[in-house]
Amino acid sequence: MHYESMARVEERLREEADRCYQWSNGPGFEYETHSHPYRKVLYVERGAITFTPAGRQPIAMTAGDRMDLPAGTAHGAIVGPDGVTCWEGQAKRA
């Protein structure tokens, strides 16, 4: 995805979420199972990551994909072979 498209993704995220930030991890990094007390909105900017919600099928994501994770959902994640860069934020309350 080219630079202008990712700038638009950040803009869209900021329209629907607060406390937005970018993060990245190297290849193979694993997040232990955890949860958040808020609804999380996440966009993948580069690379790949697979989220592993407890009791559900894994969610494989690549550049340009968006995920909306309900508050309290237990999940882990495994970063793909080329690393990952994501934007995420706390969904604004309706």
Q: Which residues of 25-35 are buried (b: 16+ CB within 10 A; e: fewer)?
A: beeeeeeeeee
At 5 the pLDDT is: 64
pLDDT digits (tens, 9 = 90+) for 54-90: 899 999 999 989 999 999 999 999 999 999 999 999 9
Total structural domains within the chain: 1
Q: What pTM was estimated for this model as a whole?
A: 0.86
> 85 is in which domain, residue-wise?
3-91
| CATH number where 30 lies | 2.60.120.10
Backbone conformation region of residue 69, classed left if phi is above 0, alpha if psi is from -120 to 50, else beta: beta
